[in-house]
Amino acid sequence: MSDYDYIVVGAGSAGAVVAARLTEAPDVRVLLLEAGKDDAAAQIHDPTAWFTLIGGEHDWGYTTVPQPGLAGHPQSAARGKVLGGSSSINVMTYVRGHLGTFDAWAADGCTGWDAAAVLETFRAIEHAEGRDPRFRGTGGPLRLSRAETPNPLSTAFLDAAKELGHPYNDDFNGAESDGAGRHEWTIHEGRRQSTAVAYLDPAMDRPNLTVRTEARAQRLLFEGNRCVGVEYAGSGGVARRVRAVREVIVCAGSVDSPKLLMLSGIGPADHLREVGVPVLVDASEVGANLQDHPLVGLVHEAGVPLPPPPPTTAEAALFTRTDPGLSHPDLEVFLFHIPFHPRLLPFPPNSFTLTAAAMRPHSRGTVRLSGADPEDRPLIDPGYLSDGRDLATLVQGVELARSLAATDAFEAWQPRELLPGPGVSDRDGLADFVRENTGTYFHHVGTCRMGGDEQSVVDPRLCVRGVEGLRIADGSIMPSIVSANTNAACVMIGEMAAELIRADA
């Protein structure tokens, strides 16, 4: 077996960051394993082509089990399978989420993950010019941008929100996250800024960094209770083994990180025995606590020609609270400049979508093994709308979206609602519409929960409980989902993980 100081499993939003940061020390040898291919494909770097990547060769192509809360419909569970992971196939929206989320993590025992601590890390990540330096950073590897002038349809959305009494927010990543405003994007000079571009590309020539693509981790290797390496399938499916002198850091994402732990014997003992995996550590929460943001779209046909969409087709959004007493925004309504609906396409081309999303979902789900073979597909069950509060939030979101479309600000565009249509008006009808038509952001998190309690999968230093030499660093460690797109928080987790690893070394 080849020896490295650290083995990082997964070159995604967090894993690419961990590998790049650790190899800044020239005497530290790091092996980065990525199941997918490199990111050479032109459509990865073209911001206007993001939707062509979902379901393609750079996506794991996962599907959830049928969802009772969504009228039995399974859902796509897109996950990046490429250098940069999901940051190479996502819609490139950069939002941190309400900083109070991280204080809540700290209050639950995640020492060192409070708002003040993560804010410093967020500032170090980014290069965002012309922003409030108390909250924003410059000189970081991730270069952010937004359109110099808003799209005219985005302006109508912002004016509509103002008409309904919502404040304008010029920076969702500044002092406040509530209000209506325009998103920043992980786009620089017209090209996608994935973590592969921002972090890995500058590090690729380092002699102490080895990157292996099309290398799918199958099991973690243990001597006693210490993780000492990884078995992976390389080219041709040949099994290979590599050894970590110091640590293995699993950054495979909220589906494949718990899957890898369970294949290696770390997980709910009864479930592991059921599928034929020998138990190393009975860890009941591995694969539990799965969370995602459900969303539902109202498609409108415009009576006049629409302008060309912005690069990501999503620019303007409104973050708000269904109850003023809530500590965080729990509802987002955003404008999609295209007719977007997962199951009911096609729509007339001159259409747009007002999309409502529950940003603080109460529903929880699981990731489980379907068998002991690493090639077996995982069983992904987010439990969408299993908690009735999420259904109520989305119904309120649909009502708010309708109110926005009915303002004077949108009148010039002559919108006609196609879905659900004017025939659906009472709350029972709207609830049925939501159950039948809800989809997902692909923001799966939480399946290897971080916490200060012994039941949590990782401790606040991201070390897996019950074993040595093993950490997890990706969205799976989130105790609760952030009230925003999850990519920015995953990059932050990668940065925090690298600091913790270097400090402990």
Residues with a known catalytic role: 443
Angle between helices 115-125 and 100-107 (to 10 degrees): 130
Q: How would you classify residue 13: left for phi > 0, otherwise alpha for psi between -120 and 50, otherwise beta? A: alpha
Phi, psi of 66 (to 5 degrees): -55, 140
Cα–Cα distance, 159 to 166 (Å, whole number): 10
Phi, psi of 493 (to 5 degrees): -60, -40
Cα–Cα distance, 17 to 85 (Å, whole number): 11
Residue ranges in 176-308 assigned as alpha helix (H): 195, 253-263, 269-275
- CB neighbours of 198 closer than 8 A, spacing ≥ 6? 141, 142, 143, 186
With contact defined as beta carbons under 8 Å apart, do 483 and 97 qualify? Answer: yes
Q: Which two tokens stand for residue 407?
A: 């303002």
Q: Which two tokens stand for residue 495?
A: 């940065």
Torsion of CA 54, 57, 58, 64, to 10 degrees: 50
With contact defined as beta carbons under 8 Å apart, do 182 and 146 qualify? Answer: yes
- CB neighbours of 25 closer than 8 A, spacing ≥ 6? 208, 502
